[in-house]
Structure 1
Amino acid sequence: MSKKNELHASKHLHPIHTNHVSLNLNVRGLARSATVAINELSNRLRLEGRTVYKLGLGQSPFPVPECVVERLRQNAHQKDYLEVQGLKALREAVAGFHQRSDGIRVDPDLVIVGPGSKELMFLLQVAYYGDLIIPTPCWVSYAPHAQIVGHKVQFVPTRFEDRFRLLPKTLDQICAADPGRPRAVILNYPNNPDGLSYSDKELKKLAAVARKYELILLSDEIYGKIHHDGNHVSVARYYPEGTILSSGLSKWCGAGGWRLGTFAFPPSLRWLMEAIASLASETFTSTSAPIQYAAVRAFEGGKEIDDYLVHVRRILKALGQHITACLREAGARLHDPEGAFYVFPDFTPIADKLAARHIHTSQDLCRRALEEVGVAFLPGSDFGRPPAELTARIAYVDFDGAPALTVALAQAPDTPVDEAFLREYCANTMAAVDRLCRWILEKPSRRRRSSTSTETPREISYGK
């Protein structure tokens, strides 16, 4: 297969396996996770010598704080199986973390530690009997988890005009149709894929609806500590009795590959935590011991962790604002990100211009951008949006965060992060967005060179 044809074969940016007769019906047709697949494809293309900008996988570009790394070094010898629920000292640290960060009292005996929050979310769906309500756009793995275990999923499309938030009145209407039906609702904020959050007022209203219908809320707050202004508020403040609070090390602590996630349960959901712990004992047994000992230091917090987070937020906020301005100048509509490291542009306002270039769906958009300019990102359809809606997720993480953080830590926290800083320390991401926006603005008649070219595009500056 030629290199060009290989890209065409990857039209959906992840491989599709055969539907073998011996496969469980619930996993037939199940592709690899889109975020993992785009990262693997990007790495493969880079190994072939291509220039590829990796804006597909949502992996923190920043290093793990040195104090946490040092704790891992000190505990590399830890080799024993730990308790299924997790190291007691770690569960106590997680409880303290939520008390300090979220103002929520958590019983350490109601905390469970897993090899990533993704695994805990899957086991939750195995254990829980009831429907799953998922606002879209949403993270790519919530629905496949439900498919694997055979749960009914009710997707709730949200609107750009509502900042892609789940409206309390919409949730009330869904539940009112069958008030006694058991349901779990997934809230994720700051959100993957759009980087947006909920206001205090919105959370109070959602909590009131959840209480009215005795819903279980799975509040995925893995990005809470990288709310760009440090103003994250947990919905568990307003609905403590029915909220499972999900966190972990992968995003705010830069330790995605360490695979450690946490769930904190209220006393009223002890029965569900015990069921998940039983499932854990029959699946992963316990999370890596050295990682758990190191995680204690991360969740304990302190000045070093606080300083780290302040400057990570500074950099992400400035980069997100710059990218948003560039994409708007290119014709997209999108909201300013409030947290995490994602933007979710909608190119529908220039749909006619894109159609003239035979780009009609979000999959077309992402495939062509990868083929023609080497920028890898994911279509909105992978996040539950209609293919004809020209939305996409851009993860602005293709840079080495270590040098950027070193320079930022030497500055006062209120020092502006200007474009010169971004050009120097977030160079790949900035070049990717320049290249993407230039490509979007091209005339239909212009021919593109293949992304096999290693030519570096001339930098452009939008809004000037």
Structure 2
Amino acid sequence: MKKQPDIHLNLNVRGLPLSATLAINEISNDLIKQGQPVTKLGLGQSPFPVPQVVEEELKVNAHQKDYLPVAGLRELRGAVADYHHRTHGISTAPENILIGPGSKELMFILQLVYYGDLVIPTPSWVSYAPQAHIIGRHIHWLETDASNQWKVTPECIEELCHKDENKPRLVILNYPANPHGYTYTEKELKALAKKFRKYKVLVLSDEIYSELDYDGNHVSIAQFYPEGTIISSGLSKWCGAGGWRLGTFAFPNNMKWLLNAMATVASETFTSTSAPIQYAAVRAFIGGLEIERYLANSRRILHAIAKAIVSRLQNAGFDLVMPDGAFYIFPDFAPFKKKLNQRGITSSSKLCEVILKETGVAMLPGESFGRPKDELTVRIAFVDFDGARALTAAEQIPLDQTLGEEFAKQYGGGCISGVEKIIDWLNETQAE
């Protein structure tokens, strides 16, 4: 009998689980298929529909079938460059824009071509570290604190870099941030920019949630450190088009070499991003009255639901500050640790497992975002509501009016009821 060849798995991949956000979505969907009610607060998928003007553009361009340039459609690269200048005051050119099938893919290729340590705050999005692990990069976690809204400080950058000033490093900043929704002030960004410039750190500014800053006042660190910052964005969060898979990188003029290196890898991997979606994305980045109104109402809705959730958690005994944007809340169950430990709940993973089993509410453990296993933090993605219905209702209310508690209760869907289930479960646990 012919001997079968040995099949070996790359050691960097062996043992890595499915991405936590995608895994919880699949688990939730399987439970629903089995007839179990599930409140889906795990996967951070935008609840809002794609703006109608952008959807119509996709229909018009469904016939587009040619391979497009590796770096992206020229018109789209121009629209993205104009977008950054119009919205954030960042001067860039179409030649400095790279289009990819989702910003996640572009982040992976960046780590592949740039030889340097990956530096990320804890907590941070679930895929930054695994990508570095797959490629074989060294990962350095920046410790942050809930009392400072989990923000990176100039002091921790100084502590990291002063021992080896010339070491190449890639720092990822994400704001408003997944998993907690907090952002940076202009003053904080200026202070960080000084440290990054001092040590010539490469910064990937993941601004995928920038348009969902509740006040609409997002500031990019590229304004203060343009020569060392790459801005990451895309359609998934602010345009409700996660499944379309379109991401963008904006490079400074002095980093053409890095863009070109990434384009080379792209040419040998994904070739080019879907043509119809690139043509439709031009309309999204051009903006206009329809899209501005869509964004203004999206922000109002998310702000109202976040406020309703935070007030409930605060009243239940959580030490929690209102987020600044996006659709995430990152509470810590530490005030209830003693009773939870008595039930054998000593990790965030176990906490989420038990809550899903006993309440039907799906969340993600802080452990998935780089927090210690015994810390009882969880991420709530408050996206389980009918975004189209909420937008229609918000359209009837003048933009200068705040959407309040009643709106959140009426249109917040499973987000409000799911958090109330968690609080009820917690009260029962504490009473035992």
Q: TM-score range by the shorter chain?
A: over 0.9
Distance 1:337 1:21 in 2: 48
Select 2:345's aligned residue among 330, 343, 359: 359
Displacement of 1:48 = 0.5
2:211 equivalent to 1:221: no
Distance 2:126 2:405 in 1: 32
Displacement of 1:331 = 2.2
Tell me the residue number matched to 1:46: 32
2:189 equivalent to 1:203: yes
Displacement of 1:141 = 0.2
Distance 1:21 1:86 in 2: 37
Select 1:276's aligned residue among 240, 243, 262: 262
1:55–1:395 Cα contact (<8 Å) kept: yes
State the one-letter code of the partner of 1:314.
R
Select 1:85's aligned residue among 71, 76, 83: 71
State the one-letter code of the partner of 1:369.
I
1:4-403 to 2 correspondences below 5 Å: 22-403=8-389
Displacement of 1:418 = 2.4
Deviation by residue 1:312-367 (Cα, 9 ceiling, x = unmatched):
00010011111111112222222211010000001112211222322111111100
Distance 1:270 1:170 in 2: 30
Deviation by residue 1:134-179 (Cα, 9 ceiling, x = unmatched):
1110000000110011000101121111210001111011100100
Moved over 6 A (4+): none
Distance 1:33 1:113 in 2: 23
TM-score by length of 2: 0.97
1:332–1:349 Cα contact (<8 Å) kept: yes
Deviation by residue 1:52-79 (Cα, 9 ceiling, x = unmatched):
0000000000000000000001000000
1:311–1:408 Cα contact (<8 Å) kept: yes
Distance 1:443 1:70 in 2: 50
Counterpart secondary structure, 2:120: strand
Counterpart secondary structure, 1:64: coil
Distance 2:383 2:319 in 1: 21
In structure 2, do the counterparts of structure 1 residues 48 and 198 end up closer, same or farther at CA, with 3 Å as the change threshold? same
Counterpart secondary structure, 1:441: helix
Distance 2:173 2:430 in 1: 40
1:85–1:111 Cα contact (<8 Å) kept: yes
Counterpart secondary structure, 2:56: helix
TM-score by length of 1: 0.91
Distance 2:431 2:218 in 1: 47
Displacement of 1:444 = 5.2
1:61–1:397 Cα contact (<8 Å) kept: yes
Structure 1 gap ranges (5+): 1-19, 447-464
Deviation by residue 1:250-292 (Cα, 9 ceiling, x = unmatched):
0000000000000000011111110000000000000000000
Counterpart secondary structure, 2:428: coil
Distance 1:202 1:415 in 2: 30
Distance 1:117 1:430 in 2: 30
1:357–1:444 Cα contact (<8 Å) kept: no
Distance 1:238 1:443 in 2: 49
In structure 2, do the counterparts of structure 1 residues 136 and 413 end up closer, same or farther at CA, with 3 Å as the change threshold? same
Distance 1:173 1:355 in 2: 35
1:222–1:248 Cα contact (<8 Å) kept: yes
Distance 2:95 2:378 in 1: 41
Counterpart secondary structure, 1:166: coil
Distance 2:382 2:117 in 1: 34
Displacement of 1:423 = 2.2
Displacement of 1:445 = 6.5
Counterpart secondary structure, 1:181: coil
Distance 1:40 1:220 in 2: 26
Deviation by residue 1:185-240 (Cα, 9 ceiling, x = unmatched):
00000000000000111100110001001110000000000001101000000000
Deviation by residue 1:69-123 (Cα, 9 ceiling, x = unmatched):
0000100000000000000000000001000111001111010000000000000
1:133–1:183 Cα contact (<8 Å) kept: yes
Distance 2:216 2:69 in 1: 33
In structure 2, do the counterparts of structure 1 residues 227 and 444 end up closer, same or farther at CA, with 3 Å as the change threshold? closer
2:386–2:413 Cα contact (<8 Å) kept: no
2:305–2:408 Cα contact (<8 Å) kept: yes
1:331–1:347 Cα contact (<8 Å) kept: no
Distance 1:219 1:445 in 2: 45
Stretch moving more, 366-375 or 430-439: 430-439
1:414-425 to 2 correspondences below 5 Å: 414-425=400-411
Q: How many pairs does the alignment contain?
A: 427
